[in-house]
Amino acid sequence: MSATTHSAWLAHTVFDGARRYEGVFPDLALHCERVVRSALIMGMTPEITPEEIEGLARDGANRFDGNETLYIRPMFWIEEGFGPIDPGTTRFALVIQPMPMPDVEPGFSAQISDFRKPSPETAPTGAKASCLYPQATLA
């Protein structure tokens, strides 16, 4: 991905995050389906099916120690376009890396933020899109 990649420049990226832990892949098929659905919502043309992504993820995970907890992240992005996108430049990557589950302290505190989730007519809220995450992080 270069500095002029539409995705890096204008956040036209979708992803999903699955896990392998204790030898199982909870909801892996659902994560693979959602990333393709998100790509379609964002106007991309994914050239790989959810089933193919799941096969690649399982094959890739098998290259690691069977006891390692893994993070599995399929993602699509648009390579070209400024303003109008070029759906024909949709790219795919699958990242698999060791990543232990975070330690969770018992209990938490919460408060109301000045930031709100965008409404469906103002943002692609039906997609798991990178462009939605800065607002959640600020909140």
Task: Determine the pLDDT at residue 88.
Answer: 93
Q: Spell 94-119 as b/e; 16+ CB within 10 A means b.
A: bebeeeeeeeeeeeeeeeeeeeeeee
Percent of the chain with pLDDT over 70: 99
Instruction: Assign 40 to helix, strand or coil.
Output: helix
Measured in degrees and rounded to the nearest 5, phi and psi for residue 96 equal -130, 125
Residue 76 CA to residue 8 CA, distance in Å, equals 12
Task: Determine the pLDDT at residue 44.
Answer: 95
Q: What is the mean pLDDT of the chain?
A: 90
Q: Taking a C-beta distance cutoff of 8 angstroms, is the pair 98, 68 a contact?
A: yes
CA-derived radius of gyration, the chain: 17
pLDDT for 84-129, tens place per residue?
A: 888 999 999 999 999 998 887 777 778 898 888 888 898 888 898 8
pLDDT band per the 50, 70, 90 thresholds, residue 69: very high
For the record, the structure tokens of 3 come out as 């500095």
Beta-carbon contacts of 50 under 8 Å, excluding residues fewer than 6 positions away, are 29, 32, 33, 35, 36
